[in-house]
Amino acid sequence: MSILVFIEHAEGAVKKSSLEAVSYAAAMEGDVTAIAIGSIAEDALKSAGKAGASKVLHVTDEKLEKGIIQAYANVISQAMEKIGANILVLAKSSLGDPVAARVSAKLDAGFVSNIVDLPDTSSGFQVKRSIYTGKAFANVNITTEKKILGIKKNAVELKEDGADASVEKFAANLSDADFNVKITSQDKATGEVLLPEAEIVVSGGRGMKGPENWGMIEELAKTLGAATGCSKPVSDMGWRPHHEHVGQTGVKVSPQLYVAVGISGAIQHLAGVNSSKNILVINKDAEAPFFSAADYGIVGDAFEVVPKLTAALKAAQN
């Protein structure tokens, strides 16, 4: 069974979520080929081999340096055809999702996203997907010959014991029509841990009182190697950028540890964090609903507890 995995990269390295997607495909016992688009060093692409790919197709067309959705979908469809893959696997992302949607319509391939486990092929091709923003799951049988699987973070364990993959150049036939959208600029945080990729997330809510108090959230995050997040009112009021907003209408995270500071735990916030492995809540109100969704809790004033916790973590690291 030939499987193609679309892998994304940022700042010179393949994204961890993409490597997880490669491991997912490898765990399906397929013959796994990865495809990467845009400039990245060949050595960096070999990491896909460790995760389980035997080969990486590298598309270096300059016009594809930016993520033009239509063109990417065309490249990937052609790559699937070339290697005879009936299955495309990819990690959930702002680029992967819309690209896969187009591939799905182009190839009439059933596309299921937010998959949390390996497929069950004992009768048909059944996958388990997260629905109702993490509040439930659905088991869905994909009935089309071609299939696209969008993988949620932490669906399988990342494998890192494979051999280096061979890297091969791949060029697709594209037309002007694939480039009728122009990306004028990107404004993107660099050097910080990105929220959807993070293993630990530290979020602050309205209980932090104002943007001037975010220093202690950032300090705690830095100590934990975590990304920072926030509740909706916090981004609505402009205390923090919108891409940090976690919840029903924001980013959905599934880290190993989610730390919520001064967040009440409204159902719409919980929807974005309920697939976290562990949740730690710091809130001065013992009745805050977040505590009933938490694994660990501290009732106390964030302005005292957070600096103390940061200091204790630092002490434990030394």
Partner 1 sequence: MKILVCITHVPDTTAKIAFTDNNKKFDANGVQFIIGPYDDYALARAVELKESSGGTLTVLNIGTSETEPTIRKALAIGADDAIRINAEPTDSLFVAKQIAVHAKEANYDLIMMGRESIDFNGGMVHGMVGELLGIPAISPVMKLDIEGDKATMAREIEGGKEYLELSLPFIAGCQEPIAEWKIPNMRGIMSARSKKLEVIEPVSADVAGQLEQYELPPAKGAVKMIDADNVEELVKLLKNEAKVI
Ligand X SMILES: Cc1cc2nc3c(=O)[nH]c(=O)nc-3n(C[C@H](O)[C@H](O)[C@H](O)COP(=O)(O)OP(=O)(O)OC[C@H]3O[C@@H](n4cnc5c(N)ncnc54)[C@H](O)[C@@H]3O)c2cc1C
- Asked whether position 237 contacts partner 1 by CB under 8 A, the answer is no
- 172 is an interface residue for partner 1 by CB under 8 A: no
Q: At what angle do helices 302-317 and 214-224 cross, to 10 degrees?
A: 20
Q: Is 231 in the site for ligand X (CB under 6 A)?
A: yes
Q: Shortest gap between Cβ of 86 and partner 1 (angstroms)?
A: 13
Q: Is 47 in the site for ligand X (CB under 6 A)?
A: no
Nearer to ligand X, 152 or 232 (CB): 232
Cα dihedral: 268, 273, 278, 282 (round 10): -50
C-alpha 17/C-alpha 308 separation (Å) is: 33
User: Which residue, 29, 33, 35, is CA-closest to 14?
Assistant: 35
The DSSP code for 23 is H
Say how many residues touch ligand X, by CB under 6 A.
25
Looking up tokens 């071609």 gives 146
Give me the 268-297 binding string for ligand X, x by CB under 6 A, dash otherwise.
Answer: xx--x----------xxx--x---------
Per CB under 8 A, contacts with partner 1 among 11-50 are: none
What is the Cα–Cα distance from 184 to 162, expressed in whole angstroms?
A: 39
Q: Encoding tokens for residue 112?
A: 């299921």
Q: Which of 54, 78, 86, 248 binds ligand X (CB under 6 A)?
A: 248
Region from 10-18, 67-75, 218-226, 301-309 binding ligand X, contact rule CB under 6 A: 301-309
- Of the pair 83, 266, the CB lying nearest ligand X is at 266
As a whole number of Å, the CA-based R_g of the chain is: 21
List residues forming the annotated binding site for FAD: 206, 262-269, 283
> For ligand X, which residue of 15, 153, 232, 240 counts as binding (CB under 6 A)?
232
Contacts with partner 1: how many residues (CB under 8 A)? 96
Window 21-40: residues binding ligand X (CB under 6 A): none
Nearer to partner 1 (CB atom), residue 88 or residue 167? 88
CA–CA gap between residue 52 and residue 46 (Å, rounded): 10
The token duo for 12 is 């010179």
Residue 206 interacting with ligand X (CB under 6 A):
yes
Identity of residue 253:
V
CB of 69 closer than 8 Å to CB of 95: yes
What is the bridge-based pairing of β-strands 87-91 and 2-7? parallel
d(CA 285, CA 238): 25
Q: In whole angstroms, how close is the CB of 304 to ligand X at the nearest point?
A: 8
Among residues 2, 42, 241, 285, which is the contact residue for partner 1, using CB under 8 A? 241
* Angle at 26 (CA atoms; ends 20, 30), nearest 5 degrees: 140
What does 233 interact with, of ligand X, partner 1, none (CB < 5 to 8 A by kind)? ligand X
Q: Which is nearer to partner 1, 162 or 197 (CB)?
A: 197
| Binding residues among 180-209 for partner 1 as defined by CB under 8 A | 180-189, 192, 194-197, 199-200
Q: Among 99, 165, 230, 253, which residue sits at the site for partner 1 (rule: CB under 8 A)?
A: 99
- The residue among 85, 78, 76 whose CA lies nearest residue 7 is 76
From candidates 1, 41, 105, 163, binder to partner 1 by CB under 8 A: 105
| Residue 205 touches ligand X, criterion: CB under 6 A | yes
For residue 135, CA distances in Å to 189, 235, 252 come to 30, 24, 12
Residues making contact with ligand X (CB under 6 A): 205-207, 231-234, 247-250, 262-264, 266, 268-269, 272, 283-285, 288, 301-303
